[in-house]
A and B are shown apart, each in its own frame.
Chain A
Amino acid sequence: AQKITQTQPGMFVQEKEAVTLDCTYDTSDPSYGLFWYKQPSSGEMIFLIYQGSYDQQNATEGRYSLNFQKARKSANLVISASQLGDSAMYFCAPGGGGNTPLVFGKGTRLSVIA
Chain B
Amino acid sequence: NAGVMQNPRHLVRRRGQEARLRCSPMKGHSHVYWYRQLPEEGLKFMVYLQKENIIDESGMPKERFSAEFPKEGPSILRIQQVVRGDSAAYFCASSPTVETQYFGPGTRLLVL
Chain A interface (Cβ < 8 Å from any Cβ of B): 4, 33, 35, 37, 43-47, 50, 91, 93, 95, 97-107
- Is B106 in contact with A44, judged by CB distance below 8 angstroms? yes
Is the CB of B72 closer than 8 A to any CB of chain A? no
- Is A91 in contact with B42, judged by CB distance below 8 angstroms? yes
Once bound together, how far apart are the Cα atoms of A101 and B95, in whole Å? 11
Instruction: Decide: A99 near B42, CB < 8 A? Known: A43-B89, A44-B105, A45-B91.
Output: no
- Is A106 in contact with B103, judged by CB distance below 8 angstroms? no
Residue of A nearest to B105 (CB): A44
Instruction: Decide: A102 near B45, CB < 8 A? Known: A45-B103, A47-B100.
Output: yes
Cβ contacts under 8 Å, B89 to chain A:
43
Among B74-112, those with CB < 8 Å from A are 89, 91, 93, 95, 97, 99-106, 108
Chain B interface (Cβ < 8 Å from any Cβ of A): 31, 33, 35, 41-45, 48, 56, 59, 89, 91, 93, 95, 97, 99-106, 108
Once bound together, how far apart are the Cα atoms of A37 and B101, in whole Å? 10
Cβ contacts under 8 Å, B97 to chain A:
99
- Is B108 in contact with A101, judged by CB distance below 8 angstroms? no
Which residue of A43, A46, A91, A106 is within 8 Å of B108 (Cβ)?
A43
- Is A50 in contact with B43, judged by CB distance below 8 angstroms? no
Cβ contacts under 8 Å, B48 to chain A:
99-101
Closest-CB distance, A87 to chain B (whole angstroms): 16
Closest 4 interchain pairs by CB? A104-B42, A45-B103, A101-B45, A104-B43
- Is A102 in contact with B101, judged by CB distance below 8 angstroms? yes
Which residue of B31, B100, B106 is within 8 Å of A50 (Cβ)?
B100
Closest-CB distance, A54 to chain B (whole angstroms): 13
- Is B99 in contact with A33, judged by CB distance below 8 angstroms? yes
Closest-CB distance, A103 to chain B (whole angstroms): 7
Cβ contacts under 8 Å, A45 to chain B:
43, 91, 93, 103, 106
Residue of A nearest to B55 (CB): A99
Q: In this complex, which of B43, B100, B102, B108 has the most chain A Cβ atoms within 10 angstroms of its Cβ?
A: B43
- Is A35 in contact with B42, judged by CB distance below 8 angstroms? no
Once bound together, how far apart are the Cα atoms of A95 and B48, in whole Å? 13
